[in-house]
Amino acid sequence: MSVREISIRDALREAMSEEMRRDERVFLVGEEVGGYNGAYKCSRGMQEEFGKKRVIDAPIAECGFSGVGIGAAMVGLRPIVEYMTFNFSLVAIDQIINTAAKARLMSAGQFTLPIVFRGAGGAAFQLGAQHANSFDGFYAYTPGLIVVAPATPYDMKGLLKSSIRDDNPVVFFESELTYGLKGEVPEEEYLVPIGKAEVKRAGTDLTIITWSKNLFLSLEVAEALSAEGVSAEVLDLRTLRPLDTEAVLKSVAKTHRVLVIQEQHEVSSYGAYLSHLIQSEIFDELDAPIGLVSTLEAPMPYSKSLEAVILPSQERCLEAAHRVLEGSR
């Protein structure tokens, strides 16, 4: 395949545009997706190409336009619902969890729900407590939803295309901080399968498990450990539900030590679930307690210095990695 370097925002735009050209049932709805080209310019030029009936500027009413998308999916269309930030998806939580996630089961398969809910999730720079939450683990808690949280331009495009083609509701997490990040993306069409993790860096001494933008932090941590003579493997989950359990257990059985890095509060978190899964499935393969680096247990402060303290940092991750490597708690 021939490749070029493009940004994540362009990878997402290409994915949506290609799928809309491929299937006339696909449409995009959300705040400022049309005339403003998207809050983060992920839909630049799409309304000009596809028209106002397929790239729809919605009012500030997440519950309303989420419900419209769900209804459209139930009668055969394939909507993409964009949230300016996933914090605003809380206004539509009844629609997503009580309707989208359950309609296929409760209708005994009479309805399918081919809908994608996508947008920016997690902290950015100084957005304050109400605009900086990570809800990937929250949605992964809910049976009936597929939850995707990629990091690179390649994975963003390939997984969004797969998500649009899936007949189940998909919650697709992006990051406001990485929309401008560039990476290699093929010019030819490709798909990345849902539910498949990927080893982004091979190693033998420690497995670092992560997803979404913390992949880049994890790679920095692995590089710093390499300077100390430690070979760290970085496993990018890419999809939280369904989880690629086989890839997780295979990597842990190889390195025998685990560090999970997540932008979630530790209590009832996805990282805590991963720790339980690993210990219950292959406890005898572990040579040390599992390490877990999380967001500290407080609402996100607006202060730049305090925000840096609360979020996972390279310093905190290295300290946790050293504890795991030493076999201590």
276 Cβ contact list (under 8 Å, min separation 6): none
Is 265 annotated as catalytic? no
Provide long-range contacts, Cβ within 8 A and 24+ apart, for 57-62.
57/30, 57/31, 57/32, 57/33, 58/29, 58/30, 58/31, 58/33, 59/31, 60/31, 61/91, 62/88, 62/89, 62/91, 62/92
Q: Fill in the amino acid letter for 113.
A: L
From 14, 31, 62, 307, the catalytic residue: 62
Start-to-end Cα distance in the chain: 47
Name the one residue in this structure whose structure tokens are 């490749």.
3
Is 62 annotated as catalytic? yes
Rounded to the nearest 10 degrees, how much is the dihedral formed by the CA atoms of 17, 21, 24, 27? Answer: 10
Rounded to the nearest 10 degrees, how much is the dihedral formed by the CA atoms of 87, 91, 92, 98? Answer: 110
Q: Fill in the amino acid letter for 139.
A: Y
Bridge partners of 27, per DSSP, are: 79
Q: Residue 42 and residue 180: Cα distance in Å, rounded? A: 10
Q: Residue 111 and residue 31: Cα distance in Å, rounded? A: 27
From 31, 82, 131, 263, the catalytic residue: 131
Q: What is the DSSP string of 162-228?
A: HHHH-SS-EEEEE-GGGTT-EEEEESS-----TT--EEEE--SSEEEEE-TTHHHHHHHHHHHHHTT
Q: Tell me the catalytic residues.
A: 62, 131
